[in-house]
């Protein structure tokens, strides 16, 4: 499985007074099993970019290859592509509509043409994966709490068994525990099934903790594409475009300035703690 | 996708027309529309053309944009022109082939009718292109205020209109988002017969309604929390005040109406009404 973008451009409302060049000459490749993070200031083109990945938006120019086949060829099975690249929008609970949660989660598999029994199997599997309690399966989705709604919505996409899971700010509006729960579950899914995960987020800490590769978007262009350590070592540049490095990175830099012999590339609290202990033992 | 629809079709630009009081624009547009019907001569339409051209030029809205609005009535226009061209009798016969007779009267009437339709659309479009939707509701509220005496809830209606206008782009964006979310789950909105396609709208309409009610609820609470209590004793942040240019606009329109009414109707030149 590979997704390849070549010189993708996208322009909103082309030719009108409200024209916006949202993506400028973006090229990148994502291969099976990667856990990629996409960060960028508001309006940098993150959401536009991920909506290209499952063919919801068609690029104004450039090509998109899924598994080496050109997605923009006439007759390309878009429905197939959307079964394989699952996209969870921001505030996905706004898409819930069925009579009860279970039926809503079955919506995706049903559209894939699976039999009723297979749909139910998939729905159960997906709801278990997101940790949704069985006693709420037959409740109306509008009667659930925010966190539960979100789990149900994500399950709706997982029920399609996509090879790639794209999540647009899955933790928006959740409390800290809710955020950890969702992200831990996604990481678990990634580890267990080898599913490729693409995570768009505003939280540097979340990104640093889970992903192995970060793509930084700035004003519609790809600014950086590297491992978290390398990306966050450019923290001054990130600040200039409205982003930042994780808090611990700043702490490590400050400690080094004050004289403690620590490496400054720690991006999570655990790494920082280990690094500080190591440096102190030497003293 | 849906974002390409520009609601109210306001075209932002800096021009004299844009800066006019919305009430002036509403009244003058109405007068212009009336003027298209009080005369029926080449001179009359000529004067109307001059006036419209002047307004379009001053408004700095590109002609291309204005013409786009005519696309909606192309079919109606063609139909009207053909009807009048081929079915009007009277006057010298100009062309005769097969069963079609094109007479002098027919040619004249069809051109006039076409001009009338086109100017109708262009005239009203100029008003919406140069006035923001909120400007329009302010203008309408102001013009209808005398109806308060007859217990017509002018303020409430105007408030409803501006809230509705304000939420059109928001709800359109939400519809777009919901459609994309459901398409991402494999929903098919395009294939199938009319029944299948209507059923396919359910996953979009239900979340949309729920969302609209939720927003309405939040908005009502927010307005009450800021002491909104209807229109009584409520002042405006941007009151509509007549400026010199508004009086000039009225003056020019009055001259125009006089010209059209006077010259277009009563000039007894046989030449002008050929």
- Residue B147 maps to a domain: no
CA of A51: how far to CAs of A54, A166, B17, in Å? 6, 9, 40
Closest CB to B185: pick one of A17, A142, A157.
Answer: A157
Q: Do A111 and B188 touch (CB under 8 A)?
A: yes
Collect all residues of chain B within an 8 Å Cβ-Cβ radius of residue A86: 184
Q: Are residues B80 and B213 in the same domain?
A: no
Q: Rg of the Cα trace of chain B? A: 24
Q: Are residues B42 and B176 in the same domain?
A: no
Q: In this predicted model, what pLDDT tens digit does every residue of A6-60 receive, in sequence order?
A: 999 999 887 777 788 999 999 999 999 999 999 998 888 898 999 999 888 899 9
Nearest chain A CA: its distance from B237 CA (Å): 27
Collect all residues of chain B within an 8 Å Cβ-Cβ radius of residue A165: none
| pLDDT of res. B28 | 94
Domain ranges of chain A: 1-76+163-178+185-232, 94-161, 246-283
Collect all residues of chain B within an 8 Å Cβ-Cβ radius of residue A142: 210
| pLDDT of res. B7 | 42
Q: Are residues B172 and B211 in the same domain?
A: yes
The verdict on A51 touching B (C-beta cutoff 8 Å) is: yes
Q: Are residues B227 and B205 in the same domain?
A: yes
Q: Quick one: pLDDT band at residue A283, thresholds 50, 70, 90?
A: low
Collect all residues of chain A within an 8 Å Cβ-Cβ radius of residue B177: 89, 94
Nearest chain B CA: its distance from A142 CA (Å): 9
Q: In this predicted model, what pLDDT tens digit does every residue of A64-113 receive, in sequence order?
A: 999 988 988 888 888 889 999 999 999 888 889 999 999 999 999 999 98
Q: Do A108 and B206 touch (CB under 8 A)?
A: no
How many Cα atoms within 13 Å fall on the side-chain side of residue B95? 10
Nearest chain B CA: its distance from A104 CA (Å): 10
Q: How many domains does chain B have?
A: 2
Residue A266 has pLDDT above 60, yes or no: yes
Q: In this predicted model, what pLDDT tens digit does every residue of A140-186 receive, in sequence order?
A: 998 898 888 999 999 999 999 999 999 999 988 888 888 888 899 89
- Residue B2 maps to a domain: no
Question: For residues B41 and B139, is the Cβ–Cβ distance under 8 A?
Answer: no
Question: For residues A48 and A42, is the Cβ–Cβ distance under 8 A?
Answer: no
Q: Are residues B188 and B224 in the same domain?
A: yes
- Residue B220 maps to a domain: yes
Q: What is the mean pLDDT of residues A240-265?
A: 87
DSSP summary character for residue B174: H
| pLDDT of res. A118 | 93
Nearest chain A CA: its distance from B180 CA (Å): 7
Query: Locate tokens 């009086």: which residue?
Result: B247
Q: Do B181 and A92 touch (CB under 8 A)?
A: yes
Tokens of A264: 């400054």
Closest CB to A95: pick one of B188, B202, B207.
Answer: B207
Q: Are residues B199 and B84 in the same domain?
A: no
What is the spatial order of strands in the sheet that A196-200 belongs to? A85-88, A164-168, A196-200, A35-40, A213-218, A221-226
The verdict on A53 touching B (C-beta cutoff 8 Å) is: no
Q: How far is residue A116's CA from residue B48's CA, in Å, rounded to a whole number? A: 67
| pLDDT of res. A29 | 93
CA of A113: how far to CAs of A73, A131, B187, B203, B273, in Å? 24, 26, 11, 17, 70
- Residue B89 maps to a domain: yes
Q: Are residues B230 and B248 in the same domain?
A: no
Taking 70 as the pLDDT cut, the residues of chain B under it are 1-8, 90-91, 99, 264-274
Collect all residues of chain A within an 8 Å Cβ-Cβ radius of residue B18: none
Nearest chain B CA: its distance from A113 CA (Å): 10
Enumerate chain B positions whose Cβ falls within 8 A of a Cβ in A: 3-4, 6, 11-12, 174, 177-178, 180-188, 202-203, 206-207, 210-211
Question: For residues A91 and A173, is the Cβ–Cβ distance under 8 A?
Answer: yes
Nearest chain A CA: its distance from B188 CA (Å): 8
Question: For residues A83 and A57, is the Cβ–Cβ distance under 8 A?
Answer: no
Q: Are residues B159 and B120 in the same domain?
A: no
Q: How far is residue A213's CA from residue A205's CA, in Å, rounded to a whole number? A: 14
Q: How many C-beta atoms lie closer than 10 Å to residue A87's C-beta?
A: 25
The verdict on A95 touching B (C-beta cutoff 8 Å) is: yes
Collect all residues of chain B within an 8 Å Cβ-Cβ radius of residue A18: 6
Q: Domain range for residue B185? A: 153-237
Q: Which residue of A has its CA nearest to B5?
A: A13
Which residues on adjacent β-strands are paired with residue A40?
A217
What whole-number percentage of chain A has pLDDT above 70?
A: 99
| pLDDT of res. B264 | 65
Q: Do A16 and B187 touch (CB under 8 A)?
A: no
Which of A141, A157, A140 is CA-nearest to residue A149? Answer: A141
Q: How far is residue B97's CA from residue A227's CA, in Å, rounded to a whole number? A: 78
CATH topology of domain A1-76+163-178+185-232: Rossmann fold (3.40.50)
DSSP summary character for residue A166: E
Q: What is the mean pLDDT of residues A208-219?
A: 92
Tally A–B CB contacts below 8 A. Answer: 68
The verdict on A227 touching B (C-beta cutoff 8 Å) is: no
Question: For residues B132 and B10, is the Cβ–Cβ distance under 8 A?
Answer: yes
The verdict on A58 touching B (C-beta cutoff 8 Å) is: no
- Those residues whose C-beta lies under 8 Å from the C-beta of residue A281, and which sit 6 or more positions away, are none
Q: How many C-beta atoms lie closer than 10 Å to residue B14's C-beta?
A: 7
CA of A161: how far to CAs of A80, A178, B138, in Å? 12, 23, 53
Q: Are residues B93 and B79 in the same domain?
A: yes
ipTM: 0.84
- Residue B165 maps to a domain: yes
């Amino acid at each position: 499985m590979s997704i390849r973008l070549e010189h993708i451009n996208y322009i909103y409302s082309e030719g009108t007074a409200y024209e916006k060049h949202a993506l400028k000459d973006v090229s990148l490749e994502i291969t099976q099993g990667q856990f990629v993070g996409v960060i960028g200031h508001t309006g940098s083109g993150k959401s536009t970019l991920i909506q290209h990945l499952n063919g919801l938006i068609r690029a104004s120019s450039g090509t998109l290859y899924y598994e080496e086949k050109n997605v923009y060829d006439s007759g390309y099975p878009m429905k197939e592509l959307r079964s394989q690249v699952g996209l969870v929008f921001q505030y996905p609970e706004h898409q819930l509509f069925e009579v009860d949660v279970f039926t809503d989660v079955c919506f995706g598999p049903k559209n894939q043409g699976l039999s009723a029994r297979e749909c139910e199997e998939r729905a159960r599997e997906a709801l278990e994966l997101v940790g949704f309690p069985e006693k709420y399966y037959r409740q109306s989705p509008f009667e659930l709490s925010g966190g539960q709604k979100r789990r149900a919505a994500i399950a709706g996409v997982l029920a399609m068994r996509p090879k790639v899971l794209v999540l647009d700010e899955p933790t928006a509006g959740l409390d800290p525990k809710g955020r950890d729960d969702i992200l831990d579950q996604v990481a678990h899914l990634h580890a267990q099934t080898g599913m490729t995960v693409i995570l768009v987020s505003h939280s540097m800490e979340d990104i640093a903790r889970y992903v192995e590769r970060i793509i930084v978007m700035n004003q519609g262009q790809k600014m950086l594409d590297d491992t978290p350590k390398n990306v966050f070592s450019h923290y001054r540049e990130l600040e200039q475009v409205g982003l930042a490095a994780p808090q611990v990175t700043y702490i490590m830099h400050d400690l080094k300035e004050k004289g403690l012999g620590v490496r400054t590339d720690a991006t999570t609290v655990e790494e920082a703690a280990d690094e500080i202990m190591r440096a102190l033992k030497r003293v | 996708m849906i974002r390409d629809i520009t609601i109210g079709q306001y075209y932002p630009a800096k021009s004299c027309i844009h800066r006019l009081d919305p009430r002036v624009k509403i009244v003058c547009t109405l007068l212009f529309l009336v003027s298209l019907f009080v005369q029926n001569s080449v001179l009359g339409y000529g004067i109307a053309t001059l006036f419209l051209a002047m307004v379009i030029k001053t408004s700095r809205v590109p002609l291309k944009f204005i013409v786009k609005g005519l696309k909606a009535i192309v079919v109606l226009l063609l139909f009207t022109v053909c009807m009048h061209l081929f079915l009007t009798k009277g006057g010298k016969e100009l062309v005769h082939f097969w069963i079609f007779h094109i007479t002098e009267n027919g040619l004249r009437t069809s051109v006039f009718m076409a001009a009338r339709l086109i100017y109708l659309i262009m005239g009203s479009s100029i008003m919406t292109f140069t006035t923001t939707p909120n400007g329009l509701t302010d203008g309408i509220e102001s013009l209808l205020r005398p109806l308060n005496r007859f217990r017509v809830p002018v303020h409430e209606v105007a408030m409803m209109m501006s809230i509705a206008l304000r939420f059109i782009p928001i709800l359109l964006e939400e519809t777009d988002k919901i459609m994309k979310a459901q398409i991402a789950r494999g929903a098919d909105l395009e294939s199938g017969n009319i029944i299948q396609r209507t059923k396919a709208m359910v996953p979009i309409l239900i979340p949309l309604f729920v969302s609209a009610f939720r927003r309405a609820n939040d908005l009502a609470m927010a307005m009450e929390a800021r002491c909104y209590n209807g229109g009584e004793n409520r002042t405006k942040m941007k009151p509509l005040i007549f400026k010199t240019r508004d009086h000039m606009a009225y003056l020019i329109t009055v001259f125009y109406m006089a010209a059209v009414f006077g010259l277009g109707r009563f000039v007894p030149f046989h030449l002008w009404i050929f």
